[in-house]
Amino acid sequence: MNLPQVVSFAVIVQDALDFVRGCLEERGLTVAVAAGLPEIYGDRMRLVAVIQNLVDNAVKYMGD
């Protein structure tokens, strides 16, 4: 278990997008991340995994 920490949500999102970059590029997709996202407190690796899973599922089930 990782200790909770304060981290920028933008960093969490960017880390997750880095993990699914190949999948996004295969589909010709780009993801725009809003500016000014807040800092959050939690397990960074689990938060990255949650966002990665959400993006991965969105790509898989978005259709043509």
pLDDT (0 to 100) of residue 7: 96
Q: Is the pLDDT of residue 62 over 90?
A: no
pLDDT in tens, 10-59: 999 999 999 999 999 999 999 999 999 999 999 999 999 999 999 999 99
Q: Distance between alpha carbon 62 and the CA centroid of its chain, in Å?
A: 17
**Among candidate residues 29, 36, 43, 45, the one with its CA nearest the CA of residue 10:** 36
DSSP H/E element including 45: helix 44-60
The phi, psi pair for 10, rounded to 5°, reads -60, -35
pLDDT at position 1, please?
73
Q: Is the pLDDT of residue 60 over 80?
A: yes
pTM of the model: 0.89
